[in-house]
Copies of this chain bind each other. A is one copy, B any other.
Amino acid sequence: MRYNKDMISVAILGATGMVGQKLIQLLTDHPYFTITELVASKKSSGRAYKDACTWLQNTPIPSDIATMTVKELYSPLKSIPVFSGLDSSVAGDAETHYASMGHTVISNAKNHRMDTGVPLIIPEINPHHADLIATQDFLYQDANKKGCIITNPNCATIVASLALAPLYARFGLESVYITSMQAISGAGYPGVSSMEIIDNVIPYIADEEEKLESEAKKILGSLSKNNTDIIPAPFAMHALCTRVPVIDGHSLHIIVEFSSDSSNTISEEAIIDAWNTFTGTPQVQALPLAPTQPVLYFSQKNRPQPRLDRDRDKGMGICIGRLKPCRRKTEVLPKPSHSTKHYSFFALGHNTIRGAAGAAVLNAELLHHKRLLT
């Protein structure tokens, strides 16, 4: 791991978990950040990281991390930026605590995502929502401890939001139906028992549908006039979430109904163009973990596929395919015609990179770019 005096020291909460491990992987050799503190539960604290952790990545533990002693959650920390890969059972209070102590908490946990005043950010979509941080003064801070919390969405929400954002911006959305096929790594470790998922599909993931149905609307929402709150985007969102025997990569079948006030002539070409040309602050500012092309449409009929495409653009690129207009009732008439209001497509993203650890790192890079980290 490189280090120079301009590097920003960071801590990782929940360092032994799956998101924590991925954060360590992604922050190794990072040009802005260097990990100097690892934090986990009492069970792990006081032990060398390599002994406290069931490391399940396919690269070795970086050597300086391996021997770092794990601190206990709620210990005082020196680093200002604190990444949180904490489990939701403890993240709520712990993140509030560190924010109140003056830390900038960059969280992947669900607990504060929907809180008023807490930005829920995908840097390509709503970087300006970071301005909400200013409103957190009264919530978390002593006069002299200007800590804050910034969150990234649920893994499936990120895939959906990046697929929907270009369409929402250009065509407007009336309603969205999502069927997800989610990877086991989304449940962490030990997470899903092998007895449950091999040769199987599980048609339920606790709380996941609620997250999908609420978070995307906050991300695509607009800042209220006084910049203190988000007005959610006004489309309908319905989801069924399933777990499938895939290690990494969440797949979504998404059906969209474009706004009734959009013209009647939304073509496949226009939709694909909206995706392929979509870009944002991370690309303009060339943030280190930014994908070159955030959303890519595959013209091959049988793509994208999790195993082949989840690693596109460092695992930060969303992959889309299978766009087609929905068949409508009128097709039973002699001359079938397709509605241009309803389309369906298939979207894929790497759930532990783009959908979790990478999302948090990109948020931190955004804050750094906005000079909000110091």
Contact = CB atoms under 8 A, between A and B. Distances in A.
A288 interface: no
Nearest to A192: B194
A113 to B, nearest CB: 17
A146 to B, nearest CB: 33
Interface residues of A, number: 71
Interface in A178-201: 179, 181, 184-185, 189-201
Contacts of A322: 203-204, 240
Contacts of A308: 56-58, 200
Given A236-B331, A311-B59, A251 B245 contact: no
Contact of A328 (B59, B203, B236, B312): B236
Contacts of A249: 201
A311 B199 contact: no
A338 to B, nearest CB: 10
A193 B195 contact: no
Contact of A181 (B237, B242, B312): B242
Interface stretch (A30-38, A272-280, A297-305): A297-305
Contact of A302 (B191, B204, B236, B304): B204
Interface string A231-263: 010111110101011110101010100000000
Contacts of A304: 203
A18 B301 CA distance: 21
Contacts of A305: 200-203
A74 interface: no
A311 B58 contact: yes
A305 B305 CA distance: 22
Nearest to A209: B324
B195 A181 contact: no
A252 to B, nearest CB: 9
Contacts of A330: 236
Interface string A308-349: 111110000000011000111111100000000010101000
A306 B193 contact: no
Contacts of A238: 255, 326-327, 342, 344
Contacts of A251: 201, 203, 242
B344 A177 contact: yes
A174 interface: yes
A43 B232 CA distance: 43
A307 interface: yes
B191 A193 contact: yes
A245 B194 contact: yes
Nearest to A232: B332
B56 A179 contact: no
B203 A198 contact: no
Contacts of A329: 174-175, 234-236
A236 B177 CA distance: 16
B195 A56 contact: yes
A369 B197 CA distance: 41
A227 to B, nearest CB: 20
B198 A194 contact: yes
Given A177-B344, A305-B203, A236 B327 contact: yes
A197 B330 CA distance: 36
18 contacts: A18-B195, A57-B308, A58-B310, A181-B201, A185-B195, A190-B195, A190-B196, A194-B196, A195-B247, A197-B198, A198-B198, A198-B245, A199-B199, A199-B307, A203-B305, A203-B322, A240-B346, A253-B253
